[in-house]
Amino acid sequence: MKPFGIAVLALGLAGCAMNQSMPASSQAPGKESCKSTSEQEIAGLFDRWNQSLLSGNPQRVAANYAPRSILLPTVSNRPRLTPAEKIDYFNTFLESAPSGKIDQRIIFIGCNSAVDAGLYTFTFGKSGAVVGARYTYTYAWDGSQWLITSHHSSAMPEKK
């Protein structure tokens, strides 16, 4: 490649990189404004959810979910779509005093959305049982906070 071609390519790539790092407010009008976030902030959303479990309050747990969201829980065959259905599920789930711990994760961040997926372990304080599970949380920024839009959890199929 000739030096001129290399310079044009380098400038083009630099322009793309600069556009990606520009704050949304300085981009062209009409483009969506994206919430600035980090993997650390998204990882903290599980901690927020887990703390609400530890509160024992099903309404507090359900408050982590967007009004239009789905919960596909580990210990129920029924998808939970409404806040009332989520509260109903957590009423029963919280009776066993669950506490979660992330074992492995990968986080993807988009414009006003994020995905946290991996493996977690639940310890149930009432029985002492420990259950490994797979999980996926999808989050959306609602303009003031991150809320869960989709939460899928399933027990690990293979026993160790």
At residue 75, the pLDDT reads 87
Q: What integer pLDDT is reported at residue 157 of this predicted model?
A: 87
Model pTM score = 0.79
**pLDDT, tens digit, for every residue of 26-81?**
344 556 699 999 999 999 999 999 999 999 999 999 999 999 999 999 889 999 99
Interatomic CA distance for residues 66 and 140, integer angstroms: 8
First to last CA, the chain: 55
Higher pLDDT, 17 or 85: 85
Q: Which domains does the chain have, with CATH numbers?
A: 37-155 (3.10.450.50)
